[in-house]
């Protein structure tokens, strides 16, 4: 190798080292960045949820990977994941996953509905409903996804849908039907979520990654796409229901024609 090439190589390594050092954060800078206490960060490190800091002499430093993983932990916690569930979730993410890859997980976890459920007590829920709700009625509202009981005995309530749920209760909508419908939504919802996640991972994210786009841009893309995805799901559901009704009418017409035709 010529001396000229060697100098260029040394300069490249030096520039890369300088750039890497610029990305490193002290523990204090990390706490300010992610909004967590030193105690919590050290606890998550001890539990293996985030890797240990990078050592430079006696000091420890943190990288964008630490930031991404801590933000993902916070996102999972906001969805009610237990510590054990968070550990299981993070184990599915490769150790060499980039901060951008981790950001994709976080972006897909963020709520797809604009409304944030309101937490309230049973008494607050009764007051909001303007009635004393029975256990059966609460079970129906839970199956409809309108009022979900938390581990603390309180309720996460989708306030904008509460009047719709109460109207169904007044019409005698059976709890069994609500539970069965919830199972249908859950089964198909899991499949849709998996396929959409695979689509983002294999078709959308690689394009943004190759262009050097930051994780924040991917999150913005997902946020903008969410209402369109929900609208598309509703439209697909309505089209499928219309088609099912037409097929039902046609099937009954064929049955009637066969029964009325002479032998």
Predicted confidence at residue 111, as pLDDT, reads 60
Category of 136 on φ-ψ map: left (φ > 0), alpha (ψ -120 to 50) or beta: alpha
Predicted confidence at residue 122, as pLDDT, reads 93
Question: How much is the pTM?
Answer: 0.51
Give residue 194's Cα distance to chain centre: 11
Predicted confidence at residue 9, as pLDDT, reads 45
C-alpha count within 13 angstroms, C-beta hemisphere, residue 188: 7
Predicted confidence at residue 16, as pLDDT, reads 38
Q: Strand order of the sheet with strand 118-120?
A: 118-120, 155-157, 147-149
Which among 51, 50, 63, 65 has a CA at the least distance from the CA of 100? Answer: 65
Predicted confidence at residue 166, as pLDDT, reads 94
| CB atoms inside a 10 Å sphere around CB 229 | 13
Predicted confidence at residue 70, as pLDDT, reads 93
Q: Among the residues of 55-153, which ranges form H helices?
A: 64-78, 83-91, 99-109, 122-129, 135-143
Angle at 92 between CA 87 and CA 97, to 5 degrees: 110
pLDDT in tens, the chain (263 residues): 444 444 444 443 333 343 445 678 999 999 999 999 999 999 999 998 899 999 888 889 999 899 989 999 988 887 778 888 888 888 888 888 888 778 777 776 766 555 678 889 999 999 999 999 999 999 999 988 899 998 888 999 988 889 999 999 999 999 899 889 888 888 888 788 778 878 877 888 788 778 877 767 777 777 777 777 777 777 887 888 888 878 888 788 777 777 766 65
Predicted confidence at residue 6, as pLDDT, reads 46
**Under 8 Å between Cβ of 117 and 125:** no
DSSP for 215-246 reads: HHHHHHHHHHHHHHHHHHHHHHHHHHHHHHHH
Predicted confidence at residue 165, as pLDDT, reads 92
Residues 6+ apart with CB under 8 A from 77: 86
The sign of the dihedral angle between the CA atoms of 139, 143, 149, 150 is positive
**Under 8 Å between Cβ of 102 and 67:** no
Predicted confidence at residue 17, as pLDDT, reads 43
Distance CA 219, CA 198 (A): 16
Predicted confidence at residue 152, as pLDDT, reads 85
């Amino acid at each position: 190798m010529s001396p000229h090439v060697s100098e260029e190589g040394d300069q490249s390594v030096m520039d890369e080292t300088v750039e890497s050092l610029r990305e490193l954060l002290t523990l204090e800078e990390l706490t300010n960045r992610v909004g967590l206490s030193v105690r919590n960060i050290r606890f998550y490190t001890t539990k293996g949820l985030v890797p240990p800091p990078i050592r430079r002499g006696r000091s420890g430093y943190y990288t964008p990977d630490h930031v991404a993983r801590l933000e993902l932990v916070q996102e999972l916690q906001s969805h009610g994941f237990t510590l054990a569930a968070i550990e299981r979730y993070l184990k599915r993410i490769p150790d060499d996953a980039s901060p951008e890859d981790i950001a994709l997980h976080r972006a897909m976890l963020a709520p797809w509905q604009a409304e944030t459920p309101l937490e309230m007590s049973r008494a607050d829920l009764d007051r909001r409903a303007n009635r004393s709700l029975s256990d059966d009625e609460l079970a129906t509202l839970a199956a409809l996804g309108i009022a979900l009981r938390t581990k603390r005995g309180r309720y996460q309530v989708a306030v904008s849908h509460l009047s719709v749920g109460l109207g169904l209760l007044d019409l005698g909508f059976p709890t069994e039907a609500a539970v069965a419908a919830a199972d249908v939504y859950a089964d198909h919802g899991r499949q849709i979520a998996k396929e959409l996640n695979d689509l983002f991972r294999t078709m959308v994210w690689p394009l943004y990654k190759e262009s050097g786009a930051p994780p924040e841009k991917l999150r913005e893309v997902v946020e903008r796409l969410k209402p369109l995805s929900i609208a598309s799901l509703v439209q697909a559901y309505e089209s499928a229901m219309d088609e099912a009704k037409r097929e039902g009418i046609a099937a009954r017409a064929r049955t009637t024609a066969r029964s009325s035709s002479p032998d």
